[in-house]
Structure 1
Amino acid sequence: MSAGTSTSTSSSADTEARVPFLSVRDLKVHFSTEDGVVKAVDGLSFGLERGRTLGIVGESGSGKSVTNLAILGLHDRERTALDGEVLLDGRELLTAAERDLEALRGNTMSMIFQDALASLSPYHTVGAQIAETYRKHTGASRREARARAVEMLRRVGIPQPDMRVGDYPHQFSGGMRQRAMIAMALVCDPELLIADEPTTALDVTVQAQIMDLLRDLQQEFGTAIIFITHDLGVIANLADDVLVMYGGRCVEKGGRAEVLGVPRHPYTLGLLGSMPSLDGPVDVPLSPIPGTPPSLLAPPPGCRFHPRCAFAEKVRDALCSTRRPLLEPVDGHGTACHLTAGQRREYFADYRAARVN
C-alpha cells in the first residue's frame, strides 16, 4: 500500500513539475479601429518554466509586445478584445480584477521597457523611483526603501550607488539608465521578468553587459524571463527556447539550438538569411525577405506568410493560401508549415547553397 502511495505521489509530483510557471493558451488580442478589427495576436500558445529564458522574435508588428502587454494586463479593456487563457503559477490573468493585477505587477511579474529615458520620470531621482516601487509592494519605510534602492543599483553594476541614487535619469548614460530600469524591475524579486527589446538602443559592448547581467540575476533569483527582440544574434546568446512570431501567430518554436540551427519554417530561414554570420564566409550576400508584413486588418488566408514565401508554390493543392497550418511539435520543435520534412530538407539545402554560390 505504501509503495503504491509512493508511486502515486511521485507521479503526481512529476506531473506538477512539468506544468509551466507561465502558460499562454490560444491567446487572442484584437483591437477595434475605425477601419476594422486589428487581429494583433490571433491564437498564440506557449509555456515558460522557472529559471528559463524564452526569446520571442519577429519583425515589427508581429505581435511580440502586444502579447506581453496582455500578460501584464496593460491593454485598455474597453477598446481591446482579449480571449484565451493566461495562467501565472495557476492564476488566471486575462479575467483578473485590476486591483489584483496591480498587486502582481512590479512584484510577482515585472517588465523592462525598451526606452529607459521615456520610461523613467524626469522629475524624480532614480533612487526615489526604485524605492517607491519597493514601498508600494512591501510597505517598507522610506529609509528601508532607499537602502534597498542603493543595494539594487549596486547589484546591477552602477558605480558609487550610494551617491548615484540621488541622480536624475538625465544624469545617467544610456547603459546606466537601462541598468536602473532592470534594478527597478527586480527590486521586489519578481518571478517573471519581461524584457521588451531592452538592448536595442545600446552599443554592442553595453548590450553584452546587459545580457550578462540578466543571466547572472536569473541564476541568482531563478527568474523566468521573456526576452522580446528582432535580433537573432541576441537570442542566440541569451535564450533557452525560441518562439518565432509572424502576423500575430507563432510559426515556429523550440529549443534555441534547434530553431536557429535547423529551422523548419521558411520565415525563420528568411530571418537567418537576412542577418550576417560571424562563422561563415565574409562575402556571402544577405538575403532580405521580399515583400512586407501582412495587414492585420485583413490578413491573408491560410498561412499568413505565404505571399512572401519562396516555397509556397511547391506545396500541393495551394494549401498555403487556403488552409491555416497547425503548429505540430516533433521532439519539442514545432512549426506551422505545410511543407513536408522531406521538402524542407531539399528546398532549404538548395536555398543555403544558392546563398553561398
Structure 2
Amino acid sequence: MTSTDQQPFLSVKDLKVHFSTEDGVVKAVDGLSFDLMRGKTLGIVGESGSGKSVTNLTILGLHNPDSTSVEGSIELDGQELNGAPEKTLEHLRGNKMAMIFQDALASLSPYHTIGAQIGEVYRKHKGASKKEARERAVEMLRRVGIPQPESRVDNYPHEFSGGMRQRAMIAMALVCDPELLIADEPTTALDVTVQAQIMDLLKDLQREFGTAIIFITHDLGVIADIADEVLVMYGGRCVERGTKKEVLSSPRHPYTWGLLSSMPSLDGPVDVPLNPIPGSPPSLLNPPSGCRFHPRCAFAEKVDGNRCAKESPVLEITNGRGSACHLTDEQRTEYLADLTAAKHH
C-alpha cells in the first residue's frame, strides 16, 4: 500500500474530457478536481448531461481514445491512470476498481448464467479454476442477499427480478474485492423498498471492506442516505462541494438551491408546490459565457454589472468546502432564508 490515512485514495485534478463530433468539440467535463479517501463515499449529483457519468467512465479508462481528449491527472493509490497503458487499466478494472451500472438487464449477458458471468470476472483477474470461480460466485450471491445461491447461481438474468439483478451486478463488481467502487445511479429503476435494501447493502459492504465509493445520482434524497461528501456538477463543472450536512443544510450555489427546491419536503406542509428549475441544461458543444448556470438562475440579475453572463466564477475550496458563484455571502444568506421560508409555508 502506498497511501496513508492522510492521503486520498483517489485524486482527480483539473480533469478535462472533450469529445470530437461532426458538429464540434463537446466539453463534457471541463476542469474538475476532487479527492476521495478510503472507506468514504463521495456523492456526485446533477442533472443528466452534467458530466457525472463521463467523469467516472474516464476514471476507469472506458472512453474511446480516437475521439476523446483527456487532460489532467487521475491518481489511484498514487498511480497515474491518465495515459496509462490499456493493459494496466484492464488489470486495475475489476481488481482495484469496479463499476455498478444503472441498467443491470442491459449490462448482463442474456446468454450466460449469472454464476458464469460472476465467475468469469474472478477467473480472469485471479487465475482461478472453473470450480473455484463457481464457489466464489455462490459466496458472492450469498453475501449480497440472494436466497438459495447454490441453485440461483445457474439462473439466467431474465429469471431474476430487477432488484436481484442489481444485487448480482454488485456481486460481480465486488467479486475481486476492489478498493474503489463506482455506482452509476444503481437504484434508479428500483422501487423504494428495494432501493433502500441496495443502499444498506453497499454501506454494509463498505464497512466490511473499507471500500471507497463514488455514488452518481440526480436524487438528493439518495445522497442524504449514503454520502459523506457531496460534489454538485453542472455543465461539466463542479459548482459546489462540501460535506453532506453542509451541502444539504446550508447550500451555497443557486443550482443546488434549485435541486433542493424541486424535492418534496417531509417535514413541511403537503400542499406546497415544488419549484422545478426553469429551462434546460446547457449545450456542452456551445456552453453559455460566464457562469454556465446564469441563463436559468433567478439571482443572476442581482449581481452587479451583468457579471454572471460575462465572468466565469472561480471555485475556491477551503477545508473541502466551496462554491462557484458571484453572489456575496450577505446576498446568499438573505436569498436562502427567503427560499427556506417559502418551502415551509
- State the TM bucket, normalised to the shorter chain: over 0.9
CA apart distance, 1:17:
3.2
CA apart distance, 1:331:
4.0
Q: Which runs of 5+ in 2 are unaligned?
A: none
CA distance in 2, matches of 1:213, 1:16: 26
Q: Which runs of 5+ in 1 are unaligned?
A: 1-12
Q: Of the candidates 274, 277, 286, which is equivalent to residue 286 of structure 1?
A: 274
Structure 2 letter corresponding to 1:206: V
Q: Of the candidates 231, 239, 242, which is equivalent to residue 243 of structure 1?
A: 231
Superposition TM-score, scaled by structure 2 size: 0.98
* Corresponding residue number in structure 2 for 1:4: none
* Corresponding residue number in structure 1 for 2:331: 343
Structure 2 residue 222 is the aligned partner of structure 1 residue 257: no
CA distance in 2, matches of 1:36, 1:47: 31
Identity %: 76
After the TM superposition, which residues 88-103 of structure 1 pair with which residues of structure 2 at under 5 Å, given as runs? 88-103=76-91
CA distance in 2, matches of 1:295, 1:214: 34
* Corresponding residue number in structure 1 for 2:111: 123
Aligned CA-pair RMSD: 1.2
After the TM superposition, which residues 180-219 of structure 1 pair with which residues of structure 2 at under 5 Å, given as runs? 180-219=168-207
CA deviations 1:311-353 (Å, max 9, x no partner) are: 1111122221111111122443210111111110011212232
Corresponding residue SS for 1:236:
helix
Corresponding residue SS for 1:310:
coil
Structure 2 residue 313 is the aligned partner of structure 1 residue 325: yes
Q: How many residues align?
A: 344
Structure 2 residue 14 is the aligned partner of structure 1 residue 26: yes
CA distance in 1, matches of 2:173, 2:267: 35
Checking the alignment, whether the CA contact within 8 Å between 2:95 and 2:125 is kept in structure 1 is yes
CA distance in 2, matches of 1:115, 1:57: 18
Structure 2 residue 222 is the aligned partner of structure 1 residue 234: yes
CA distance in 2, matches of 1:290, 1:151: 48
CA distance in 2, matches of 1:197, 1:279: 26
CA deviations 1:196-221 (Å, max 9, x no partner) are: 00000000000000000000000000
* Corresponding residue number in structure 2 for 1:36: 24
Structure 1 letter corresponding to 2:260: L
Structure 1 letter corresponding to 2:239: V
Structure 1 letter corresponding to 2:114: V
Deviating runs (4+, > 2 A) in structure 1? 15-18, 329-332, 351-357
CA distance in 1, matches of 2:233, 2:59: 16
Corresponding residue SS for 1:18:
coil
CA distance in 1, matches of 2:20, 2:207: 41
CA distance in 1, matches of 2:32, 2:268: 34
Structure 2 letter corresponding to 1:194: I
Structure 1 letter corresponding to 2:147: P
CA distance in 2, matches of 1:238, 1:106: 23
CA distance in 2, matches of 1:303, 1:18: 34
Give the direction of change, closer, same or farther, for the CA distance of 1:331–1:89 in structure 2 (3 Å limit): closer
* Corresponding residue number in structure 1 for 2:50: 62
CA deviations 1:169-205 (Å, max 9, x no partner) are: 0000000000000000000000000000000000000
Corresponding residue SS for 1:61:
coil
CA apart distance, 1:16:
4.7
CA apart distance, 1:310:
0.8
CA distance in 2, matches of 1:319, 1:292: 21
CA deviations 1:99-119 (Å, max 9, x no partner) are: 100000011000000000000
CA deviations 1:126-165 (Å, max 9, x no partner) are: 0000001001011111111110000000000000000000
CA apart distance, 1:33:
0.7
CA distance in 2, matches of 1:133, 1:124: 13
After the TM superposition, which residues 105-116 of structure 1 pair with which residues of structure 2 at under 5 Å, given as runs? 105-116=93-104
Give the direction of change, closer, same or farther, for the CA distance of 1:101–1:331 in structure 2 (3 Å limit): closer
Q: Of the candidates 42, 48, 58, which is equivalent to residue 36 of structure 2?
A: 48
Superposition TM-score, scaled by structure 1 size: 0.95
Corresponding residue SS for 1:304:
coil
Structure 2 residue 126 is the aligned partner of structure 1 residue 138: yes
CA distance in 1, matches of 2:187, 2:51: 19
Checking the alignment, whether the CA contact within 8 Å between 2:179 and 2:212 is kept in structure 1 is yes
CA distance in 2, matches of 1:330, 1:223: 26
CA apart distance, 1:286:
0.4
* Corresponding residue number in structure 2 for 1:104: 92
